[in-house]
Chains A and B, each alone.
Chain A
Amino acid sequence: MSAPTVPASGTSSPDGAGHYGRYGGRFVPEALVAALDELDLAYRTALTDESFQAEFGAMLREYANVPSLLYRAERLSAEIGARILLKREDLNHTGAHKIRNVLGQALLTKRMGKPRVIAETGAGQHGVATATAAAYLDLECVVYMGEVDTQRQALNVARMRMLGATVVPVTSGSRTLKDAMNEAMRDWVANVDRTHYIIGSTAGPHPFPAMVRDFVRGIGVEARQQCLDLRGALPDAVAACVGGGSNALGIFHAFVGDDDVRLYGFEAGGDGVETGRHAASITGGSSGVLHGARTYVLQDSDGQTLESHSISAGLDYPGVGPEHAWLHDIGRARYAPVTDAEAMNAFQLLCRTEGIIPAIESSHALAGTIKIIPALTAELGREPTIVVNLSGRGDKDVHTAGEYFGILDGEQA
């Protein structure tokens, strides 16, 4: 097995079997291997197929509002002492970077001639995006969602149904995102000849991590050029939150070959990694196999998956994409946890300084950025320029944040 290479062009790739160093690969039932091979072939063909790329590009531009803006957040910058450029993925259709991945996979589903898509969802963002793409491209859509999450995120369940999707509450295991993913896998094994499983992040068996990254890597390609256009130079650092890892890899990937650009991934630290109640798989987990890949996992000493905890439903997952595990081990990207409280402070700060209500996920990226500014400033001897991926908007989080801050009428202390 050869180690993946990182050419200066910024394209890191796994080996042919999807390994990033010791991570990634395929830990799946044999019944799925043929489908994964079919998908791998379809995706690799699509990468170089001009008509696919043209259609994907047109969908992103004309339907999803991509490329997203790179916005100079001047009041925020003054407040925190660094030049902050926000990559405005929150302005995309359906409110997050997720639409890029979903449109890519839905188009690929069409190319493979499959009439049905399934997806797992935690908070409902990926489920809503998948239901949206399915409506747009006329595909049958079933979304698996942990029963606990269907109750916590009732509005997103309604959204998916409005869009024509069937939402299936999952009652096994901990009844959350990881169990929804298990159930989607089971559906896929049984219906693979007419179904594509749209995984919602850079996780899962090969080729999903590489494929999803390739569908979202436009975030970084755009941001890199936009930064050059705005400032005449690359940023000193790029920051993103890390759940499964798609928005982070999406913005990192184009910068991987730029040695002077530091890459920071911020994981959900929940109540604090030391409390055990967190979702920081890299900083607080260990190497294991989960959902088809070897990666960092929250697990007990018997290899049973532990429940994760985060105020952010989109980061509340006990694993992480294998490419992040590898970028961490080789030291190309740095990962650190951000607590619920730190994230919510950053959430409020962005609301008040810029008039932007961010997703709580993205607030982790902002909070982590605030924490690294002093050291980065000292290292550079000047004010740093940092591109922060504002992966989504906070509309979905209004209730959670309202409760957190005690500002919902009738719920005030």
Chain B
Amino acid sequence: MSGAGQSVAASGPGAAVDRSIAVAFEKTRAEGRALLIGCMPAGFPSVEGSIAAMTAMVSAGVDVIEVEIPYSDPVMDGPVIQRASDIALAGGVRTADALRIIEAVAATGAPVVTMTYWNPIERYGVDAFARDLAAAGGTGLITPDLIPEEAGEWLAASDAYGLDRTFLVAPSSTDERLAMTVGHCRGFVYATALMGVTGARESTSDAAPTLVSRVRAVTGLPVGVGLGVGNGAQAVEVGGYADGVIVGSALVRCLLDKPDEATGLTALRALSAELAEGVRTVAR
């Protein structure tokens, strides 16, 4: 139950090192570049369509796919991902479909991380979900509305099945909370670049570099920066100080605004390639 979280060690005995996303970060670190994480809601625009989209992202150079399980009340998401989630849910996507999508994308060889609000997991059963996620080949969970204090069951289940757990840190996190939160992460830490929700923005946040160095001061884990990154130039910029560049809304919009799936996929490939080039252009 909640509260128990504080006493659980950051890297449990069950941590399967080969499954962890840390491996992918080591590889891009060795290449002297940032890692690119691209996000797409499961089941958007359809189950098959989302597999096609995520596969296209991988072949265009996205290193890691973040599969967001659609949720009816996504408080951390801006209008673009909200709309895509609504479309996925209206299409009838289920948690079991999301697991199937994760399995299909993991089969391409790209590491898959799952992003999910907490209620679908609580409803599925935390232990059962961890078991099925591991079996599908997922690396772990990003939990936007779960803080370590409430995460007792997830800490235990992620240890049991050797899954990564990525909690968020924010510019408003106190030093004490930041250290506590990072201490419960495994795989990588998600730094929310600004105070706000997902959605591409014209300029990247100046709060992000400070936040990344605050995280670095307390951990050796890689740090990914998300919220607001939408183009190659921004990927270059964020990749200059973060280990991972996380892009969601801009990619999703490629599929939302287009008249048909083929046009959407073309736009998605082009943006993915632009972002992939961005993280490789980084001068560090």
Contact = CB atoms under 8 A, between A and B. Distances in A.
Interface of A: 1, 17, 19, 22, 25-35, 172-173, 178-179, 182, 185-186, 189-193, 288-292, 294, 297, 299, 301-305
Contacts of B171: 31
B78 to A, nearest CB: 7
A124 to B, nearest CB: 21
A178 B71 CA distance: 13
Interface stretch (B21-29, B172-180, B251-259, B273-281): B172-180
B284 interface: no
Interface string B127-161: 00000000000000000111101100000000000
Interface residues of B, number: 44
B201 to A, nearest CB: 11
Contacts of A31: 168, 170-173, 192, 195-196
Contact of B95 (A179, A294, A302): A302
A299 B73 CA distance: 11
B72 interface: yes
A179 to B, nearest CB: 8
Given A17-B2, A25-B150, A26-B149, A301 B174 contact: no
B12 interface: no
A302 B196 contact: no
Contact of A27 (B150, B172, B177, B181): B150
B283 interface: no
A178 B181 contact: no
B122 A303 contact: yes
A222 B179 CA distance: 46
Given A17-B3, A34-B174, A304-B71, 19 more contacts: A1-B3, A30-B147, A30-B169, A31-B172, A33-B147, A34-B172, A173-B72, A182-B74, A186-B76, A190-B195, A190-B197, A191-B195, A192-B195, A288-B119, A290-B73, A291-B75, A303-B123, A304-B72, A305-B119
A80 to B, nearest CB: 40
A185 B2 contact: no
B195 A27 contact: no
Contacts of B75: 28-29, 182, 185-186, 189, 291
Contacts of B3: 1, 17
B118 A33 contact: no
A142 to B, nearest CB: 16
B174 to A, nearest CB: 6
A303 B196 contact: no
A22 B122 contact: no
B89 interface: yes
Contacts of A27: 118, 145-147, 150
